[in-house]
Every structure is written in structure tokens, then in C-alpha cells.
Amino acid sequence: MGKNKQIYIVIGVIIVVILMFVFIRSLSIKKARIADIDSIINENNYTLFFSGDLTKEEKKKLKSIRDENDIKIYQLTDSNEEVINYIKSKENAENVEGNIYLLFDSKSYLGYIDNTKDKDEYLKKYLYGYLPKAERVYNVTSVNDYNQLFNSKNTTIAVFGDYTCSYCERLQNVINNVVKNKVYDIYYFDTKEMSETEYNSLMDMKITVPAKCNSMEKEQTMSEGYAKPMTIVSKKGKVIGCIKGYYDYATYVEKLKEIMEG
């Protein structure tokens, strides 16, 4: 065997060993303690700290979360009691059960997820602003019932969006807080989750979107197109106001007041 060939083989073996080391390291989950949290989160956009029984299935789930969300993951070596006490120092938490996820952005604590919460929904909440179904207090009803509300003598506030629209999901948090704080009652409709029959019934209502809430700057029905999320305020079968798009809580409430008191 030539000397050059031997060198190439050695180099090849070294490269394979390095790649295997990098691969194995990428599969591992680093360990940390509660005392390390503040210094660790400053280095990452998002960080998840795991506490509990790191089974093969749990490890696979954590790696999937890390790869899909670009989030750093650590396993806490502190006792379960110490982790629960840490959570209670951050929020009013009772009956924390099973394996625990602690979520942080680069500056602060976002929240925890335990076995009583839907992990996928609450991950989306802390990472993307998604509102878990268990926390929703705004009104949901059928299109048939909405048709009756729309034509009633009472003022009705309805928001139309869908789960593929990130601003719709962000506005859900806003309207949820509006209802929770008892400012106004609001109905939310996810048009992507409607059956074809319900969606057609909604379009058949011929709800008119005012020009100011339309990208074409002309009055047209929802069946002709509308921006999402769209807030429609109605009374006696007529649209008396609208809000196009997403706004933060304070701005959204102010815009609703202008319509309701106008």
C-alpha cells in the first residue's frame, strides 16, 4: 500500500470519528441546574428546561421539539420539589404533575408545561403566541345562531379568522382578554374549521365589509373577499363598524369603544 494511500485512509478515519462525535453530541441533552438558568437563557432565543423521567420516548420528543423549533434544551438535575418551588416563585401554580417543561425566551420565564397540559398546544402558546383551547373564554357559536345575532336588536361583535393566519392567532389572545376582563362579549369564527355547509351559509349572509376595512377601499360582501382577521360589529342586520387586522389590547379596545359609542 502506497504511503499517500495510507495518509488518505488515516485522514478518512479521523473525519469519520469527528463526524460521529458531532452526531452523538447533537443527540445528547445537556444537563443544568436551576442556578444556571439566568446565564443560559441569555445565550439563546428560546430555551426549554426538562425535569422528570427522561425515558427513551421523552428524549425522542424533546429532540423533535428542538429540531422543529430551533430551541435549546437542557435537563435539570435539581430535585422535582426544587423545580416545583422554582415554578411557584414565578407564578401561581398548583398540583404540578409528572414531567415538567420550563420555557424561557432570552430574557425571562414564559411558563411551564406538565402532564395536565397539552404539550403541543402550550409549546405553541409560549413560542408562537397560540391560544390553547383550555384557556379560551371568548364565545363560539354556529353560523345559524350568528345569523340570528346579526339580525337581532342587540349589538354583536364577531371576529373572522383562520388557524393558518398568524395575526388571527395573535388577535385571539387579545379578544380572549377583552372577554375575560368583561369589556365586551366577542364571538370568534375560524373559517378553516367550518364545514363546507357552514362556510357557504356564512357567505350567503351577504355581510357587507365597509370600504375602510377593505384592501380595495370599496364596500363589498365577505363572499367577494375580506382581510383576516376581520372584526365585524353589527346590529339589526347591518354592519355598524369594522376593524381590519391585528392590534394590541389597548388599541383594539379603543377601536371597539369608538364603534360601540359612536
The answer, yes or no, to whether the previous bond of 132 is cis (omega within 30 of 0) is no
Over residues 203-253, the pLDDT tens digits come to 999 999 999 898 777 899 999 989 899 999 999 999 999 999 999 999 999
* Whether the predicted pLDDT of 27 surpasses 80: no
Over residues 180-196, the pLDDT tens digits come to 999 999 999 999 999 99
User: Does 3.40.1260.20 match the CATH number of domain 136-261?
Assistant: no
Mean pLDDT of the chain: 89
**Rg, Å, the chain Cα set:** 26
Q: 173: which residues sit within 8 A by CB, 6+ positions away?
A: 129, 131
Question: What pLDDT does 21 receive?
Answer: 43
Over residues 168-177, the pLDDT tens digits come to 989 999 999 9
Domain range list for the chain = 29-130, 136-261
pTM of the model: 0.72
Cα separation, 247 vs 129, whole angstroms: 14
- What is the dotted CATH code of the domain comprising 29-130? 3.40.30.10
Question: What pLDDT does 4 receive?
Answer: 61
CB of 157 within 8 A of CB of 184? yes
Over residues 9-18, the pLDDT tens digits come to 656 656 655 5
Over residues 130-165, the pLDDT tens digits come to 899 899 999 999 999 999 999 999 999 999 999 899
Question: What pLDDT does 128 receive?
Answer: 85
Residue 86: which of 41, 125, 37 has the closest Cα?
37
Domains 29-130 and 136-261 share a fold: yes
Mean pLDDT throughout 95-114?
Answer: 93
